[in-house]
Amino acid sequence: MSVGRMKRSNWFYFRTVIFYAFLLFLYGPIAVMGVLSFQGETGGLTFPMRGASVHWFADVFNPSYIGDFRWPWGRSVILALIIMFLTMTISFLAGLAFRKGFRGNTFFFYLVVASLIAPSILISLGIGRMFTSLEMQSAWWSGALGAHLTWTLPFGVLIMLAIFSRFDPRTEEAARDLGATTWQTLKSVIIPITLPGLVGVALFGFTLSYDEYARTSQVSGEYNTLPLELVSVTGTASTPALYAIGTMTTIFSLLVIGISFLSLFIIQKRRSGASIGIKES
């Protein structure tokens, strides 16, 4: 990129310093969490460290009065996976429709934006009261699922819109001119080209759902999701087990992300050379 070739001014160093300072700022609390999760057995949630141990990691798997995290964790992972799948599918389909354009597409676009900006507490209260008024029981797989969708779908749809807006329609036309059916076009042209975007949608969907608290707060029903359990425990347990959970869930997320990127990388590798129509990701 030619801009990069310009003389490195003081401003360049200023920006570099800002960027790395920001990274430091981003990682600060996480580093504290990581360090404090190795707090000694008599230590608390804040500094100073009273020795070092892996006691609190063991504590997570030996539930006594801090509650059992394993089930909420499992629920959150399952919910996040369902949300990921739904968000990908729904956003992809909506993306196809938006691309063609249809009557009322502006209305739908604004609806999606409204869903993005709707205050989390309104969604949570509203879904909760809707279930109450229908005399139904909200649960993490029903009410909370819906609440999460209102949050992940806008991101999914907006990303798909961005992807499709850079998608060169001529690629598709070419495929059709060569006699491909719609199904074939979709399978062999559209999906492969939009795949990086779809993976992005999936990652967004998973992360936003996995860590969602405010929208879930009124609608999780009988059983807590992990963020709810964590908030509940932050209120009652004053032990570094909390940080140990934080550290472990972070490592878990990194594994998930790592695996997704790796698989994406492998897919891309296999397809190398078939880079058609996509301008820039």
Partner 1 sequence: MSVSKRKKTNSVSRRTVLKGTAAAAGVGAAATLGGFPTVWAQDLKDITIRQLGLAVSNMDPFAKMATDALGFTVEQTAVDLGTVGNRGITQPKSFDLLEPAYMQFKFVWPTGNFQPVDVNRLSEWDKVSGIYKESGKGWDDAWLGDGQRPNSVMYVDGAGSDFKAPGSTDQVAAMPILHNADTLGIRPDEIGRPISSWGELLNDEFNGKTALVGFPAIGGMDAAMALEALGLVSYADKGNMTKAEIDATFKQLIEWKKKGHFRALWTTFNESVNLMLSGEVVIQSMWSPAVTAVRAKGIPCVYQDLKEGYRSWSLALMIPKHVEGKKLDATYDYLNWYLSGPAGAFFAKQGYYVVTPENTKKELSPEEWDFWYEGKAAATEIRDPFGNLLEKAGAIRDGGSYKNRMGRVAVWNSVMAENEYLTEKWNEFVAS
Partner 2 sequence: MAHLFEKIQRYSTALQMTPLGIALLLFLIGPIIVILITSFWKFNGFLTIPDFTVRNYVKLFTSGLTLDNYLETIRIAAIVWITTTVLGFIIAYYLVFDVLSLKAKMLLFLLCVVPFWTSGVIRMIAWIPFLGKEGVINRVLMSIGITDEPLEFLLFSEFAVILSYVHVFTLFMVAPLFNTMARIDPALIEAARDNGAKGWQILLHVIIPLCKPGIAIGTIFVLSLTLSDFTAVRLLSGANVGTVALSISNQIGSYNFAYSSANSLFLLIVLLLIVGGIMRLVDVRKQL
* 264 is a site residue for partner 1 (CB under 8 A): no
Contact yes or no for 194/110 (Cβ under 8 A):
no
Interface with partner 1, residue 134, by CB under 8 A: no
Question: Nearer to partner 2 by C-beta: 55 or 98?
Answer: 98
* Region near partner 1 per CB under 8 A, out of 105-113, 190-198, 220-228, 244-252: 220-228
Burial of 125 by CB count in 10 Å (0-12 exposed, 13-18 middle, 19+ buried)? Answer: middle
Where does residue 273 rank: exposed (0-12), middle (13-18), buried (19+ CB within 10 A)?
Answer: exposed
* Amino acid (1-letter code) at residue 123: I
Terminal-residue alpha carbon distance, the chain: 16
With CB under 8 A as the contact rule, the residue among 35, 81, 82, 237 that binds partner 1 is 237
Q: How far is the CB of 146 from partner 1 (least distance, A)?
A: 15
Residue 65's binding partner, choosing from partner 1, partner 2, none, with beta-carbon cut-off 5 to 8 A by kind? partner 1
Region binding partner 2 by CB under 8 A among candidate stretches 51-59, 60-68, 109-117, 268-276 = 109-117
Taking CB under 8 A as the criterion, the residue among 124, 218, 225, 247 binding partner 1 is 218
121 binds partner 2 (CB under 8 A): yes
Residue 52 DSSP symbol: B
d(CA 111, CA 176): 33
To partner 1, the closest distance from the beta carbon of 95 in angstroms equals 36
* Cα dihedral 153→192→194→265 (10° resolution): 90
Q: What part of residues 248-267 is at the interface with partner 2 (CB under 8 A)?
A: 249-250, 253-254, 256-257
Q: Is 51 in the site for partner 1 (CB under 8 A)?
A: no
State CA 139 to chain mean position distance.
Answer: 21
| Residue range at the interface with partner 2 (CB under 8 A); choices 41-49, 58-66, 171-179, 263-271 | 41-49
Kindly tell me the sign of the dihedral angle through the C-alpha atoms of 84, 203, 28, 58.
positive
Cβ-in-10-Å burial (0-12, 13-18, 19+) of 107 comes to exposed
Footprint of partner 2 on 8-37 (CB under 8 A): 9, 11-12, 15-16, 18-19, 22-23, 25-30, 32-33, 36
Which member of 89, 165, 184, 232 binds partner 1 (CB under 8 A)? 232
Q: How far apart are CA 124 and CA 143, in angstroms?
A: 9
226 binds, among partner 2, partner 1, none (CB under 5 to 8 A by kind): partner 2
Binding interface with partner 1 (CB under 8 A): 42-46, 63-65, 67-68, 128-129, 131-132, 137-138, 218, 221-224, 232, 234-238
